[in-house]
Amino acid sequence: MPSILNFSDISQSDWNALVDRAVAHYRRGKQWTDVAKGKSIGLVFMNSSLRTRTSMELAAAQLGAHVTTLVSGEGVWGFEWTKGAVMDGDTAEHITEAVGVLSRYYDALGIRAFASKTDYEADKSDAKVRMFADIATVPVINLESAWYHPCQALADAAAIRATFETRKTNKFVLSWAYHPRALPMAVPNSALLMAAHEGFDVTVASPETHTLDPDLVAQARNIAASNGGSVTESSDLHAAADGAVVVYAKAWGGRAQYDDPAREQAQREANRNWRITEDVMRNTADGKFMHCLPVRRNVIVDDAVIDGPSAIHLLQAEMRLHGQKALLEKMWGV
C-alpha cells in the first residue's frame, strides 16, 4: 500500500472498506493484538496535536507496533524545507536528511504540516507533505497537511455510519464558523470530500468571502455525483440547516488572507455571530452536531449545543483510534 496523503490515494471501494473496518473496530472495543509486532512508525509533528498524536500512538500500540513521536522544535532540530537552500541561517537540518534517516529506522512515517497561509498554490498542492512523501522510502500517512486531513475524514465517516441506522434526510451541512484566527482549510476540505464519498447531499454554508476553493468543490461534486449525492453552496446558515441530519461546523480563513490578511480579518469579523446555536440546530431534522476538535466553545458552537444530545464530537474523536487502526492494518497488510 502506498502513502495516504489525500483522497486521490484511496479508491471508493478502499474507502468503504476502511470506514467499515473502523466501525468494526469500534464495535469490538479496545482490543490489543500483536499483528503488527516488529513494525514501527515515526510521527513527525510540525504543529500541535492532542487527538492525532494520542490516537495514532494507541492505534499502533494496540496492533503491537512501536511508535515514536517527534515534535519540531521540542528537542528536535529545526527543519529546512527549501530545495537548494544555502543553509547558513536558523535551520539546522534539511528535511531531505531527516526523512531519509527516519525512513531507514521506521516502517512507516506520519507527518503533520499545516498550511503556510502565505502561498496559496503551495498550500493547495500540499507541497510540504508531498515533498516529505517523495523523500520517504516507506509509506507516509498525512496527519493533517495544508489541504487535507484524511485520518479525520475517515473517523468522521465512521462516526456517521455508527450513528445513523437510517437517515431521515440525506442532507449534510458543512458550516463555516467565526474564529479569532484565520485557520487552514484542511479539515473543511476533507469533511466535504468525506461527505461526498458518503453520498450525501451536501450544502457548504459560509459567508461569500469564505467559500472553499472552487477546484476542491468541483472535485467533491464529482465524487458526490458518482455516489448519488450532490454539493451546493449557500451563504445562509439557517436556511442551509433546514432539514439537515448533520451540521458539521468548522472555522477557516478566507482565501483573501493570502494576498490581503487585513481584508480577510475584516471580512471574518463581520461574521462574528456565525455560530452554531440551539436555534440553528432546531432547524435541522433532529440533526447531529459534528466538529473535529479542538473547538472554541461559545465562539464556534454554544455550550447548549455541544453539551446537548445532538453532539457526536466525542464519537468522532474516538473513531480516530479505530480509523487509524484500520489504516495501519491496510498499510502494513496485517
* The only residue of 11, 12, 14, 38 in contact with its own copies, by rule CB under 8 A: 38
* Angle (nearest 5°) at CA 150 between 192 and 327: 140
Kindly tell me which residue out of 11, 12, 24, 30 binds its own copies, with binding defined by CB under 8 A: 30
Helix ranges, the chain (H)? 12-28, 51-62, 95-105, 120-124, 127-135, 150-163, 186-197, 214-226, 237-241, 261-269, 278-282, 303-306, 313-332
Contact call for residue 80 and its own copies (CB under 8 A)? yes
- Measured on CA atoms in the order 219, 225, 231, 232, is the torsion positive or negative? positive
Residue 76 binds its own copies (CB under 8 A): yes
Sign of the dihedral defined by the CA atoms of residues 312, 315, 317, 322, in that order: negative
Verify binding: residue 42, its own copies, rule CB under 8 A.
yes
Subset of 10-29 contacting its own copies (CB under 8 A): none
- Residue selected from 296, 310, 330, 334 as contacting its own copies according to rule CB under 8 A: 296
Scan residues 180-239 and list those touching its own copies (CB under 8 A): 180
Name the segment binding its own copies (CB under 8 A); options: 148-156, 215-223, 277-285, 306-314. 306-314
CA dist., res. 59 & res. 87, Å (int): 37
Q: Are 207 and 237 in contact (CB under 8 A)?
A: no
Residue 9: Cβ-neighbour burial (10 angstroms; 0-12, 13-18, 19+)? middle
Q: Which of 7, 15, 19, 55 binds its own copies (CB under 8 A)?
A: 55
Q: At closest approach, how far in Å is the CB of 255 from its own copies?
A: 23
Gap between the Cα atoms of 293 and 149, Å rounded: 13
Residue whose CB is less far from its own copies, 160 or 295: 295
- As measured in angstroms, the least distance from the Cβ of 309 to its own copies is 15
- Map residues 311-330 to x or -, x wherever contact with its own copies holds by CB under 8 A: --xx--xx--x---------
Whether the CB-CB separation of 290 and 317 falls below 8 Å is answered with no
Q: Does 57 bind its own copies (CB under 8 A)?
A: yes
Asked if 49 is part of the footprint of its own copies (rule: CB under 8 A), the reply reads yes
270 touching its own copies, by CB under 8 A: no
As a whole number of angstroms, the distance between CA 308 and CA 286 comes to: 12
* Residue 78: its H or E element: none
Binding residue (CB under 8 A) for its own copies from 89, 166, 208, 262: 89
Q: Which three cell numbers stand for residue 283?
A: 432547524
Q: Candidates 42-50, 119-127, 201-209, 325-333: pick the segment binding its own copies (CB under 8 A).
A: 42-50
- The residue assigned the cell 436556511 is 239
Among 3, 4, 21, 94, binds its own copies (CB under 8 A): 94
Residue 229's alpha-carbon distances to 153, 190, 202, 223, in angstroms, are 17, 16, 7, 8
Q: How far is the CB of 234 from its own copies (least distance, A)?
A: 25
Please identify which residue in 11, 12, 14, 92 interacts with its own copies, judged by CB under 8 A. Answer: 92
Return d(Cα 273, Cα 147) in angstroms, integer. Answer: 26
Residue from 21, 25, 51, 255 touching its own copies (CB under 8 A): that is 51
State the residues that interact with its own copies by CB under 8 A.
Answer: 30, 32, 37-38, 40, 42, 45, 48-51, 53-55, 57-58, 61, 66, 68-71, 74-77, 80, 84-89, 92-94, 96-98, 100-102, 104-107, 180, 293-299, 303, 307, 313-314, 317-318, 321
